[in-house]
Amino acid sequence: MGETFAMKILGRAAGKKVREGEIVFVEPDYVLTHDNSSAIIGKFEATVPGSKVKYPKRLAIVLDHVIPAASSKNAAGHRKIRKFVDEQNIRHFYDIGTGICHQVLPEMGLVKPGSIVVGSDSHTCTYGAFNCFATGIDRTEAAGIWITGKTWFKVPETINIDITGSFTAGVSAKDLILTIIGDIGAGGANYMAVEFNGPAVAGFRICDRMTIANMGIEMGAKIAAFQANSVTDRYLEAMGVDISEALWSDNDAEYTRSYEYDLADIVPVAACPHQVDNVLPIQELPETGIDQVFIGTCTNGRIEDFQAALEILRGHTVHSDVRLLVGPASRKEYLKAMQMGLIQDFVEAGAVILPPGCGPCLGAHQGALAPDEKCLSTANRNFKGRMGEKDAEIYLSSPETAAASAITGRITDPREVL
């Protein structure tokens, strides 16, 4: 019987053949932490006072969650992190404005196909887009890995998702992954690896892969991964990343479950409050007026997302009842968007541009909602209270749907305005 991607990658790291369910100890290639590094530093220092990080080159620290600091308490946290970075010689440190961690790590060439990346952030699964075994851990475990360089994994079972066909107009990767999550459920892939296979994958751009892998955790997945191909090779080689260690499942690998999707069947959908798996076709939604639209985050804050939104938005203005917020995923994406005139187009349409970072996604600052307000967001999570107010409602959609809705002031199928 063949092996799955998860078995192969954990087996190689553990230096032996592994079976599903087995516990293995491995040394991750990178440990990502962000603003929460200040709390992790506290744990590190309390556990091994005066010690050095075991593998400083394997740490990646990105300040992105609450930037610029919203309070002096945040600012003190950021300062503590900068000091630690200096003392411990952390080379891969990216200060505020570089971008959202999950966009920055690929941009900086830290996501090598076939590598293991852990992060004290649940959307670390994003790097599955680049053939990484990438998964979230908590702060305590991050501190543990800073100290020991290693951690344990249970070798997961694998779900296979086979994708064929191509998208119809107005439909994109976000609609696909929301549809999948709606079918599989918020816990349907709990503890499991998810692989995306099938002929349609060859046609996915980097941004499509990232949008899809990013949301793996919303169905509980431990990792959500793609095979490396010419698209990822070209992107990574341009940054000098070693692509020689990519791995993928054998043809006769055994999957615990399999699903099939034809992209031609996917329609614009939204995840409705307060669960990501509460997914409905936009056409089946009752009339839903909105107060705020947010286009950004590690799920959909890239150039292609902005282009897709602007194709709909150009020539229109944002509805007078709606605030449109746009957050580039990174400085690089921001610069590209400026050079291409996208930022100007957004501003002309009435948008407010936010600094490259998480922005309103986690409800800690910018763009917070008032009680009973409704926000349509291109983010990955619509939990109650997520954007700072438990009596607000968050809907999740593609950038296309977000743009169409910003024009009409209610959640709108983008095909209506195309």
Partner 1 sequence: MQVFCYKQDDINTDLLFPGKYTYTCSTGPEILEHLLEDLDPAFAKSVKSGDIIIAGENFGCGSSREQPSLGLRYVGLKAVIARSFARIFYRSAINQGLLLVQSPEAVEAYNEGNEVEIDPAGGIIRIEGRTFNFPALPSEMLSILADGGLLNHIRKEFSGGDER
Which residues here bind ligand SF4, judged by CB under 6 A? 65, 100-102, 121, 123, 297-298, 358, 361-362, 379-380
Question: Could you give the CA distance from residue 76 to residue 100 in angstroms, rounded to a whole number?
Answer: 20
Is 229 a residue that touches partner 1 (CB under 8 A)?
Answer: no
Question: Using the 8-state DSSP alphabet, how is residue 300 labeled?
Answer: H
Amino acid at 232: T
> Which string of x and - marks every residue 248-277 that binds partner 1 (by CB under 8 A)?
---------------------------x-x
Q: Determine which residue in the list 7, 29, 30, 36 makes contact with partner 1, applying CB under 8 A.
A: 36
Residue partners of 261: CB distance under 8 A and separation at least 6: 161, 162, 163, 164, 176, 179, 180, 198
> Which string of x and - marks every residue 380-399 that binds partner 1 (by CB under 8 A)?
-x-xxxx-x-x---------
Is 79 a residue that touches partner 1 (CB under 8 A)?
Answer: no
3-state helix, strand, coil in the chain (%, to 5): 40, 20, 45
Taking the CA atoms of 64, 69, 73 and 79 in sequence, report the sign of the dihedral they define. Answer: positive
> Which string of x and - marks every residue 147-166 that binds partner 1 (by CB under 8 A)?
xx---x-x------------
Q: What are phi and psi of 32, to 5 degrees?
A: -90, 135
Question: Could you give the CA distance from residue 153 to residue 6 in angstroms, rounded to a whole number?
Answer: 10
Angle at 189 between CA 105 and CA 388, to 5 degrees: 60
Is 23 a residue that touches partner 1 (CB under 8 A)?
Answer: yes
Give whichever of 96 and 200 is closer to ligand SF4, judged by the CB atom.
96
The item of ligand SF4, partner 1, none sharing an interface with residue 42, based on CB under 5 to 8 Å by kind, is: partner 1
Give whichever of 144 and 363 is closer to ligand SF4, judged by the CB atom.
363
Beta bridge partners of 102: none
Shortest Å, Cβ 398 to partner 1: 21
Helix (H, G, I), strand (E, B) or coil at 330: strand
The item of ligand SF4, partner 1, none sharing an interface with residue 120, based on CB under 5 to 8 Å by kind, is: partner 1
Is 74 a residue that touches partner 1 (CB under 8 A)?
Answer: yes
Shortest Å, Cβ 379 to ligand SF4: 6
Question: Could you give the CA distance from residue 13 to residue 112 in angstroms, rounded to a whole number?
Answer: 14
Cβ neighbours around 234 below 10 Å, total: 11
Q: Are 159 and 193 in contact (CB under 8 A)?
A: yes
Residue-wise DSSP of 242-272: --TT-----TTBPPSEEEEEEGGG---EEEP
Shortest Å, Cβ 162 to ligand SF4: 27
Q: Which two tokens stand for residue 63?
A: 């300040």
Is 335 a residue that touches partner 1 (CB under 8 A)?
Answer: no
Give whichever of 104 and 161 is closer to ligand SF4, judged by the CB atom.
104
Is 82 a residue that touches partner 1 (CB under 8 A)?
Answer: no
Q: Which residues bind partner 1 (CB under 8 A)?
A: 23, 35-36, 39, 42-43, 46-48, 65-66, 71, 73-74, 77, 119-122, 124, 136-141, 143-144, 147-148, 152, 154, 186-187, 190-191, 217, 220, 222, 275, 277, 362-364, 368, 381, 383-386, 388, 390
